[in-house]
Structure formats: structure tokens, C-alpha cells
């Protein structure tokens, strides 16, 4: 499977050591021996795919999708109010969390709210709305978010 990641220029991943977004800061990042490298062109992406790596672009609007024409798009932007992703962007479009409605904006939604529905795939309807309340975990230490 050829995976491609698009990111913003300053990713907001909380647990950066376990997020491929770290490659935006360092140029490359590996998680469990799978390496991601920051690239600027689709040609570079093809070279990485051949080497079994994941290309990551600074491309907040995911414009590269028009050139790559992926079979599946997973929008994990966690925007809470939706994104520019549309159901017509690929044969299968999946949204994660609030702001997406299956059957309208995307084909399927993955629930991201903690609780018994976490991870559930929704084929008709929306994820739970954003509560605006982060999960309180103790102890709150810098290690917990690194």
C-alpha cells in the first residue's frame, strides 16, 4: 500500500515521537522501522514508495491529491468543524472525528470521542459533536505529552 501524508507547516501533534508529523520538523522520522521523509514533489514520493517509505508533504489543503489521485483518503485533521475534503475526492473517503457526516461529506466517519464508541465506523450519520472539554488525566507532566 502506498501511503502519503499531508501536513501543515507546524504540526500540532501532541505525542510527537509517535507521529509521522515529526518528519516535518526533522526531515525524517521512523516509527517501528517504518520511515517517513519530508518531500516537495510527487516524483520524490514515487521514489520513497519504491523504497518502502512514507512521503510527507507540507500541504495543508491536500492539493497533492489532485495529482496523485488516491484510491482512499483518510482526513484526520481533527478540525471539529469539517475540512475541505469532499466525498468526490476519492473512491473511498474517510473522516475522523466531528465535522464529518457519512453519506454527505465522506463515505465513512471514525468516531474519535473517548468512550464505548471510540473507533466505531459510522456509515450513515456523524461522529459525536466536539465536547470542547479535553480528557483530564493525572498526573499531568511534560512526559505525558512528549
Residue 66 lies in a domain: no
Residue where one domain finishes, among candidates 61, 82, 112: 61
Q: What is the pLDDT of residue 136?
A: 64
Residue where one domain finishes, among candidates 37, 61, 85: 61
Q: What is the pLDDT of residue 144?
A: 46
Residue 137 lies in a domain: yes
- The residues of the chain scoring below 50 in pLDDT are 144-146
Residue 51 lies in a domain: yes
Give how many domains the chain has, as a whole number: 2
Q: What is the pLDDT of residue 125?
A: 94
Q: What is the pLDDT of residue 137?
A: 60
Q: List phi, psi (to 5°) of 114.
A: -60, 150
- Could you tell me the residue range of the domain that residue 35 belongs to? 1-61
Alpha carbon 25 to its chain centroid, in Å, reads 17
Amino acid at each position: 500500500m502506498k501511503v502519503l501524508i499531508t501536513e501543515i507547516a507546524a504540526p500540532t501533534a501532541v505525542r510527537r515521537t509517535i507521529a509521522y508529523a515529526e518528519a516535518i520538523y526533522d526531515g525524517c522520522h521512523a516509527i517501528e522501522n517504518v520511515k517517513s521523509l519530508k518531500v516537495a514533489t510527487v516524483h520524490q514520493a514515487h521514489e520513497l514508495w519504491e523504497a518502502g517509505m512514507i512521503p510527507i508533504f507540507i500541504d495543508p489543503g491536500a492539493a497533492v491529491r489532485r495529482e496523485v489521485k488516491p484510491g482512499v483518503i483518510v482526513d484526520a485533521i481533527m478540525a471539529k468543524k469539517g475540512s475541505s475534503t469532499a466525498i468526490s475526492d476519492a473512491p473511498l473517503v474517510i473522516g475522523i472525528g466531528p465535522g464529518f457526516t457519512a453519506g454527505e461529506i465522506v463515505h465513512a466517519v471514525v468516531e474519535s470521542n473517548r468512550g464505548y464508541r471510540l473507533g466505531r465506523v459510522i456509515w450513515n450519520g456523524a461522529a459525536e459533536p466536539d465536547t470542547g472539554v479535553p480528557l483530564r488525566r493525572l498526573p499531568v507532566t511534560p512526559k505525558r505529552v512528549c
